[in-house]
Amino acid sequence: MKRAALYSRVSTYDQNPQTQILDLRQMADQRGYEIVQEYSDKISGTKAKRPGLDQMMTDARRGRFDVVLVWACDRIARSTRHFLEVLDDLSRLEVEFISFRENIDTAGPLGRAIIVIIGAIAELERSLIVERVRAGMRRARLEGQHIGRNPLELDNAAIHRDRRRGKSLRQIARDHRISTATGQPVLRKPLPRWKC
């Protein structure tokens, strides 16, 4: 007998998730699933943090159930991208996903095909995002904008002077507000004669 988790979400506190829960309980009963946990959120679908969904994903990673039942795909995710990420996570964890309204079941061949298609779309979307970021960075460089952190401006002479005075690398790093890893190459490289 498969262990099932039910997930429901309503957007506002005056709505009641019981309609969704009743349909999902009936579906679990018809399929012979044992309901081990019910998760619920009363929050807008656009919110990134959802306690019920977050707890469900944590429990999925712990192997507490084999299948997730939702009333509709839009109940589980705030966007198409988020939906694809949730499905991808569940697929990697070998947890089946069933949607009552859309009749999607990832256990069957059609459901597995949908997962493959969804995975390909998600990968394409990630690639497009990476390419857009790279294009933006190229444009910024061409316009003379600096990309990334500003380079550290170190007073190499003062660092060498402190070392000659007997300070440890850790003390020098603290005094100059740098890491010891940043200070080591400075001390290894000798100063030009005119700076000594």
Q: What are phi and psi of 185, to 5 degrees?
A: -65, -35
Token pair 């656009």 in the structure block, residue: 46
Q: What are phi and psi of 43, to 5 degrees?
A: -160, 155
11 classed as catalytic: yes
Q: Can you read off the two tokens belonging to residue 174? A: 């603290």
Longest dimension (CA), the chain: 86
Give which of 191, 193, 186 is closest to 172, Cα–Cα: 186
Give which of 160, 85, 190 is closest to 129, Cα–Cα: 85
The active-site residue, picked from 8, 11, 99, 179, is: 11
Distance between CA 32 and CA 76 in Å, rounded? 23
190 to each of 16, 82, 156, 159, 160, how far by Cα in Å? 73, 53, 10, 11, 9
Catalytic residue ranges: 11
